[in-house]
Amino acid sequence: MKPLQNIITWDEKSLLIHGERVMIWSGEVHPFRLPVPSLWLDVFQKIKALGFNAVSFYVYWALLEGKQGRFSAEGIFDLEPFFQAATETGIYLIARPGPYINAEVAGGGFPGWIQRVNSTLRTSAPEFEAATDNYLSHIYKIIAKAQITNGGPIILLQPDNEFTYSARGFYHPPDPAFMQYVEDKAHQAGIVVPIIGNDAWAAGRFVPGSGKGEWDIYAYDQYPFGFECNDPQGWPTISADTGSSTLTTDLYSSHMRQSPSTPFSILEFQGGGSPPWGGSSYDQCALKTNQEFERVFYKNLLASRIAIFNIYMIFGGTSWGYISYAGGYSSYDYGAAIEEDGRTLVREKYSELKTQAQFIKVSPGYLEATPGNMTAGVYSQNTDVTVTPMTGNGTGSFFVARHTDYSNLNSTNYTLQLPLSSGNVSIPQLGGSLTLNGRDSKIHVADYPIGDIMLRYSTAEIFTWKQFEDKKVLIVYGGSSELHEMAILTLSNPLLVEGTGVKIERFGTTAIMQWKTSSSRSIVQIDDLFVYILDRVSAYDYWVPDLLADKKMVSNSTALQGQASVIINGAYLVRSVSIDKNCLFIKADFNSSSTMEIIGVPKSVSKLVVNDGEINFSTASDGSWVAQIQYTPVEFRIPVLSSLNWKYMDSLPEIQPSYDDSQWPAADHAYTNNTLAPLRTPVSLYGSDYGFHSGVLIFRGHFIASGSESLLNISTMGGSAFASSVFLNNTFLGSWPGDVATSIKASNYKVPKLYPGESYVLTVLVDNNGNDANWLLDSDSMKNPRGIIDYSLSSQTGSVTPLTWKITGNLGGEDYMDQERGPLNEGGLFAERQGYHLPRPPLCKFKVGSPFDGIEKPGVAFYTAPLELDYPSQKYDIPITFNFENNTEVSGKYRAILIVNGFTFGKYISHIGPQTSYPVPEGILNYGGENWIGLVLWSIEPGWAKVPNLTLSVKNPVMTGRKPVEVVNAGCWDRRQLAY
């Protein structure tokens, strides 16, 4: 298809931006999962430091149109600061606004009111298309304004998400009319950047030339390990039969069969996992998709000349409030390279990503090379090693080697036979053999230009190279104790200027160097080229920031070479570098006292400023600067949460005889458009039919007793791991405590003796764990209800007593009270309806009481306490986590909701888990003053229930160069006039 503008174009190899060929290396970030806009720049800087040049982001419709027809993207939901942070960092954006996003969010992105739409979702049914109109019109205008054609960072648009698989099966294709409808809405709003799709797998949907709804650029998603991480060390057998043929087919050939006119693109490739309630931890997902996974799988994609590559997720954040779907818990850490609390180097996978992305960044020949098929026995005689060639024409060839059995843990020796421009060569030429140590993969280069110097080959992998004013610097690395060899075309004799152990020989016009990798650095000089020889762990300490003095968007290609950057060794993280007159300004983080080496400083620069302070430095013999950075440990007190001034209130007054529910909405709908239609009850008792889509739902069923009632049969539905409790007046009848396998539960409760003619009330609590997703296009699974599905209050003779019902969820339902925190932050509990979970509640309404003492019987308690912090956040990044002690023998089974300054930041289920620790970012927490902590305790069993222990922990503080974090001022408690 013809581009609608001339800034972003494409061919079969890659995108071209301003006419320059660019590989897009992107990571997924969801702004709504980090509700602190001043931290978005921090995340972008950490992604840019990897060598990435793009971020892909979802927009969550349900947060922006909580009530049909009322769109609001303000405060923490305003995307403009997100776009500004991307521009400031020099990051392109891929916009993915849905309307459906999946993303493990409630409803898959759909607002709860969509359940009431009388048509099949994700189809071209007029009622559904009309329901998307208001959202699409608004969000597309916001995106259009931020396109690169208007000076913004957005370069691609993905309409809808994984529009691939019908509930009726693969051979019932998706509705092209709806895809065309969404694309037309985008173009009508002024979207002119290319449209890229993402098949759920390489199913060949909507490829260019396929007709209605076709995409400009075809892409798909791939998660070869799935989403559960119970066995972090076990790599499954992957075959074409499973639909996850990542390593068993030649992906480039497959792509060329499907979409030969567009660049090979994967818009979601596995960067972690999203285990369910009761499943594995995110630390296990980080191990499952660790640095070895990245070396094997990501380099396999590079061997296929992937040109648009997005890792899902690069930073996961938190499913705060009630934004998670029923299949996932509060954390969305994902096992990503950047942890939920913002830390980077804790997981080696972050550093491994940096080595790969920085290499591609300085290898423009990569996008010009032609991928070949995977081979065994061709480029290496050892058939245990598979080599995939990418042949170039003077701009570099690349040979990607891995174990033929990709999960092999053995160390395998091999040699290479490479077709160089000068003829075939057997490598290593100086004897010995190369080694693949276990789950590893290597990119060997040949005929690779370093400016005007030709690197004939290198078995050591390239981290980066730069052309400075008076020299070139090439950094290569290898695994510990590996033999490596490099050949350079030169008439000069190489000189070992630092280190030992490098064997150098000359053959005609070629100098050959061989070494065994060690932790000690060696440097070899050849003419004006300095080759830094490192081991992999040492390479992790190097950073190659871009100079973006004019904040201009710079593509990830040769434009970044020359004077576009310096090389820095020794910081924990380098955020940005700029030069103003004679000063070099560096923003960086340090977790210890460090020697910082700066390579390639222009001769016109004479001053060094690190994090706004001028630093003394010395100049090494090669011209590099060396500065000593002193890390000053920060002293602060970690509050003991059990010592806070806790206050308590009963948050289930509905079971008291004096409670008045006359202000509650009546449950009187005699119909529903839900999947469970027709109704099994006289009126609908589904929360979303009445505008209640989040948190705990409460039902009150009034009846006049006949005196013969003996049994209550009730079926409740709340999604995986949900719970329900039932009270008759203030008598506890029982609970369903929840398990991971049950989303709908039929329960039977004995009814005590009732008096004929007396009025009684059944109070039923149902925990809505989030609406289901709608991944199967026409399944309408998002409409699966939350609430009471069926009930019968009956006698032994079979007579049934009728009930009249009231229902509530969050106060106001879709006319939600808290506009700042949005429509999915509150549930239906009394404390939430009154707003007592917000900062500075009226303590006169509370009693003295602590969650560590708990309550003596089933019910719901709410606790609140002020928390003062005095942390030096202007200078330090100090990650804070709330931790529950998992001890059901002490506490009994209970559910807890953690609320920080009015933000619902975690749900804890004592007997299911797995989550016990809840990071809360600065900005939600005020590090320099007053905070309010709220805790809901839902006791679901007879007897005492208490929180055994809740502690605050602080991870290692990092001395930081990030911009100050602004506290999100979302408002304090104010009397709600209509609260009941």
Q: Which residues are catalytic?
A: 162, 268
The Cα 680–Cα 205 span in angstroms is 39
For residue 295, the 8-state DSSP code is I
What letters, b where the CB count within 10 A reaches 16 and e where it falls short, cover 24-60?
A: bbbbbbbbbbbbbbbbbbbbbbbbbbbbbbbbbbbbb
Q: Are 710 and 796 in contact (CB under 8 A)?
A: yes
The Cα 838–Cα 967 span in angstroms is 15
In terms of C-beta density within 10 A (0-12 exposed, 13-18 middle, 19 or more buried), how is residue 211 classed?
Answer: exposed
Phi, psi for 18 (deg, rounded to 5): 55, 35
Q: Which of 453, 150, 458, 198 is nearest to 312 (CA)?
A: 198
Which tokens hold the place of 54?
């793009």
Rounded to whole angstroms, what are the CA distances from 294 to 300, 441, 748?
A: 9, 9, 51
Which tokens hold the place of 712?
């209550």
* Sign of the torsion angle spanned by Cα atoms 586, 592, 597, 600: negative
* Sign of the torsion angle spanned by Cα atoms 902, 906, 907, 911: negative
Q: Are 890 and 972 in contact (CB under 8 A)?
A: no
Of all helices (H) and strands (E), which one includes residue 17?
strand 15-17
Q: What is the 3-state secondary structure (H, E, C) of 906-973?
A: EEEECCCCCCCEEECCECCECCCCEEEEEEEEEECCCCCECCCCEEEEECCCEECCCCCCCCCCCCCC
The Cα 318–Cα 327 span in angstroms is 14
747 half-sphere exposure, CB direction, 13 A CA radius: 25
Q: Coil, strand, or helix at residue 635?
A: coil
For residue 621, the 8-state DSSP code is T
Q: Which of 711, 777, 766, 764 is nearest to 744 (CA)?
A: 766
Q: Coil, strand, or helix at residue 163?
A: coil
Residue partners of 478: CB distance under 8 A and separation at least 6: 459, 460, 461, 484, 517, 535, 536
